[in-house]
Amino acid sequence: MPAVEGVVFDWAGTTVDFGSFAPTTIFVEAFKAAFDFELSLEEARGPMGLGKWDHIRTLGNDSTINGRWQAQFGRAMSDADVDAIYDTFMPLQIKKVVDHAELIPGTADTIAFLRDSQIKIGSCSGYPRPVMEVLCAKAAENGYSPDCVVASDDLSAGARPGPWMALQNVIELGIKNVAHCIKVDDSAPGIEEGRNAGMWTVALTLSGNESGLTLEQFLVASESEKRIARERALSRLEGAKPHYVIDTIADFPGVVDDINRRLNAGERP
């Protein structure tokens, strides 16, 4: 019977780092350190899911941020400026990513479910390889080691929202049918990546970048507060047209069961 063969998980906001705070806070610090430029945490979250150089370039192209940049420097942000911010960002991110490597609640149980189901576990990220090496080592200490890790700078073809990192997982994991693979992410570019690769896609609303909740806030939130955060996240994710929307990775095993049902009925992504 047709069944799910593999899952490709994002990292921050999906399996580790509830609320995706490691990259966002470091973007704020990098803009400040490189150019004494004030960037809000909410602004830093905007293009999440892209490769980090592209993320900075996209921030610089934002009309509001560009207006403040022009007022401060008398010119638009150049690619050289992006390089300077990226070069400031990288050592900060490598140093601090381990502080945000705790597993999101439900990750360990979901991974165990996938292992028991003989489903291969891949991953990819907007983080470049030097950051991923540090993060993977710390995540392994915390009990999470996927079968495959693809970083944003691994492939010459590029990163999200193109399909290449997701498809590299398919190659390395030896998955025979892309339609039997699921991409799980908390960002629109990550969902678009999965759709472009021909996979089922699952968007996470409450553990990731778009809700911006800390784990502590999530654990004490009322149902009304969760509903508001869920709706806010969905308004930013629904344009990517995910096949499924769930709160966190803890809800994922039920999605696998439903996709298996749909595959058995002859459906495809």
Residue 179 lies in a domain: yes
Q: What is the CATH number of the domain that holds 181?
A: 3.40.50.1000
Q: Mean pLDDT over residues 101-117, rounded?
A: 98
Please report, rounded to a whole number, the percentage of residues in the chain having pLDDT higher than 70: 100
Over residues 156-185, the pLDDT tens digits come to 998 899 999 999 999 999 999 999 999 999
**Is 181 in the same domain as 195?**
yes
CA distances from 174 to 57, 180, 181, 199, 253 (A): 34, 12, 11, 15, 22
Q: Are 247 and 223 in contact (CB under 8 A)?
A: no
Residue 15 lies in a domain: yes
Residue 50 lies in a domain: yes
**Is 68 in the same domain as 163?**
no
- Tell me the catalytic residues: 10, 52
**Is 217 in the same domain as 89?**
no
**Number of residues assigned to the chain:** 269
**Is 123 in the same domain as 193?**
yes
What sign does the dihedral 267-252-183-248 (CA atoms) show? positive
**Is 119 in the same domain as 64?**
no
Q: Beta-carbon neighbour count of residue 219 at 10 Å?
A: 10
Residue 135 lies in a domain: yes
Domain ends where: 98, 114, 135? 98
Cα–Cα distance, 202 to 259 (Å, whole number) = 11
**Is 185 in the same domain as 170?**
yes
Q: Mean pLDDT over residues 115-121, rounded?
A: 98
Q: Mean pLDDT over residues 206-210, rounded?
A: 93
**Is 11 in the same domain as 127?**
yes
Residue 258 lies in a domain: yes
Residue 216 lies in a domain: yes
**Is 147 in the same domain as 200?**
yes
Residue 269 lies in a domain: no
Tell whether the model's pLDDT for residue 12 goes beyond 90.
yes
The confidence band for 14, taking pLDDT boundaries of 50, 70 and 90, is: very high
**Is 161 in the same domain as 94?**
no
Domain ends where: 64, 98, 132? 98
Domain ends where: 98, 119, 154? 98
**Is 71 in the same domain as 194?**
no
Tell whether the model's pLDDT for residue 22 goes beyond 90.
no
**Is 167 in the same domain as 221?**
yes
SS3 label, residue 82: helix
Q: What is the CATH number of the domain that holds 48?
A: 1.10.150.240
Q: Mean pLDDT over residues 8-29, rounded?
A: 93
**Is 84 in the same domain as 107?**
no
Q: Would you state the pLDDT for residue 74?
A: 97
Q: DSSP label at 99?
A: G
Q: Mean pLDDT over residues 200-219, rounded?
A: 95
In the numeric block, the tokens 């190659």 are attached to 171
Residue 1 lies in a domain: no
* End-to-end Cα distance, the chain: 17
Tell whether the model's pLDDT for residue 3 goes beyond 90.
yes
Structural domain count, the chain: 2
- The parent domain of residue 127 ranges over 6-21+99-264
Q: Would you state the pLDDT for residue 136?
A: 97
